[in-house]
Structure 1
């Protein structure tokens, strides 16, 4: 803890370096830096608590981020993630299994409520998402696009996982409208997921939740699913998005192409 008049640019810069080394995203560091600059500028004027802001010359340009760097997960990776989360944050395991088995977006899984799961017909109705809004906190909001509103079919594996999770919540006397609920009954928020992801990155492997969505799409295409069905499942407005961004040209897909060519020679 530092007193306001003892803060220096060096102290603040080292604080940002610590966050960077702990795996926080560039967007998060940008947000922290903006808060520091705004707060300390206010402390200079009109409050006149200090004469100049030590945050004035802060920047993170020297921090090496490669946001476009590809990260390809495998099915085996996901089972390692499930095992890690089961031990690290048991209630959150269902979050990662829903991601893996449906290809839903992070915000959509956080906003998933029990009344949007049709157990009889094995359908998840994606109708809302959890979003942080300034002044309001984490709130349920409408989906951004028409194509995002969709019904996702699921099989016995996810059905059993959901039932098991529901029974677990009841045994712990956690009664929540949200499927991915915390001990206090509130939904898991993006910030909660980011904390778990940092632990995965620090202790297990490089990991991003969005890469799970890419893995889901790739596995479906590798397995022979129709690209139109995959695109609708992901909530894309066109199949081009699904192919160009989400479906990776894996060795299995390359081998499949060779086999098809060989069969028609």
Structure 2
């Protein structure tokens, strides 16, 4: 039986194309868009459907509030490009503050006066927070200009007013330092505070520190990693942010005797036996909270410092003991000495007097 020939498919006719002006750039240049169809009627129908969709979108945009617009900007442009910690602590937190004041105002109705009212009254917040809020508000509204929602950025001309005077970080005195160190040696959750007080470690470095990072024979603590939060909100271990944070810290006999005598039930120095990475926030709100409460009960006269201020105390007691500032800076993982001087060293007039040898003056 002869093979039946399959009928050849007819080639589809090429679609017709027509260009329409759909808008104009800020400098008056026409924006053209192509529409395709089998005939002019179909092309016209597609163009009309586009116009209707654009009209409805424009009406929606006309009433979009700063809160709605900023959250959309945050989700599309910042969430994919910054770390989860930066996303949460820098962008989300500062937008929340902005939205309490201007969140319900439509973007197209937001004026420079509205924004100046906020940034001119920042006496109750820190300079750092005010600057972050300023940068974020400017970026959000610049995006509104880019997509032609508004014609100009109302942040132009806004000036940040006088902010709250920054307070010096607190630090233990020499006597308090010794009392807290001895107390920590006897406490269930004392390892973390001791690593801050005796080695100047940051919280993320403490949570990531493993027993294998401590060379008891050579008396060196190796800092090679720190904890952070991934996109799923889980604690993970990564290299520190800067090269200066990767360092070797000399440790003394007291440190080696105390930590060297411990039974290593966990990979991590502050672990509880599960070999699971300690989440830094959980550590602060649970372990360190118990430690602070018990410390205050036994020594109510001692300053109630946070975890970062224990690290400050490390720098301060070393400075007062005569450790050169450049050595302190290196041990603490700072990029330059000025950071150490400005943030971690707390001098008073008597400290200054003790460092001056008046007998050598002419």
2:305 to 195, 207, 211: 207
Inter-CA distance 86–154: structure 2 relative to 1 (3 Å threshold): closer
Q: How does 1:79-228 map to 2 (within 5 A)?
A: 79-82=178-181, 90=188, 92-165=189-262, 167=263, 169=264, 174=265, 176-195=266-285, 196-199=287-290, 204=296, 205-228=303-326
Q: Is 1:73 the equivalent of 2:172?
A: yes
Q: CA deviation at 1:159?
A: 0.3
CA deviation vs aligned residue, 1:65-123 (integer Å, no higher than 9, x gap):
98943323224434554566667x60x21111111111111111111112211121111
Inter-CA distance 252–163: structure 2 relative to 1 (3 Å threshold): farther
Q: Which structure has the larger Rg?
A: 2
- CA–CA distance in structure 1, aligned partners of residues 276 and 343 of structure 2: 33
2:329 to 216, 220, 231: 231
1:23 aligned partner? none
Q: CA deviation at 1:202?
A: 5.3
SS in 1 for 2:190: helix
1:9 aligned partner? none
- CA–CA distance in structure 2, aligned partners of residues 180 and 84 of structure 1: 16
Structure 1: unaligned runs, 5 residues or longer? 1-26, 38-60
- CA–CA distance in structure 2, aligned partners of residues 125 and 139 of structure 1: 18
Q: Does the Cα contact within 8 Å between 1:84 and 1:200 map onto a contact in 2?
A: no
Q: How does 1:18-37 map to 2 (within 5 A)?
A: none
Count matched residues.
201
- CA–CA distance in structure 2, aligned partners of residues 253 and 97 of structure 1: 25
TM-score by length of 2: 0.49
Structure 1 segments, 4+ long, off by >6 Å, are 63-67
- CA–CA distance in structure 2, aligned partners of residues 110 and 67 of structure 1: 32
Higher relative contact order structure (alpha carbons within 8 Å, sequence separation ≥ 6): 1
Q: CA deviation at 1:134?
A: 3.3
Q: CA deviation at 1:144?
A: 0.4
1:244 aligned partner? 342
- CA–CA distance in structure 1, aligned partners of residues 165 and 209 of structure 2: 28
TM-score by length of 1: 0.64
CA deviation vs aligned residue, 1:225-250 (integer Å, no higher than 9, x gap):
11111111010111111111111114
Q: Does the Cα contact within 8 Å between 1:143 and 1:149 map onto a contact in 2?
A: yes
Inter-CA distance 231–206: structure 2 relative to 1 (3 Å threshold): same
- CA–CA distance in structure 2, aligned partners of residues 186 and 78 of structure 1: 30
Question: What do you get for the CA RMSD once the two structures are aligned?
Answer: 3.2
- CA–CA distance in structure 2, aligned partners of residues 250 and 183 of structure 1: 44
Q: CA deviation at 1:136?
A: 4.9
Inter-CA distance 187–263: structure 2 relative to 1 (3 Å threshold): farther
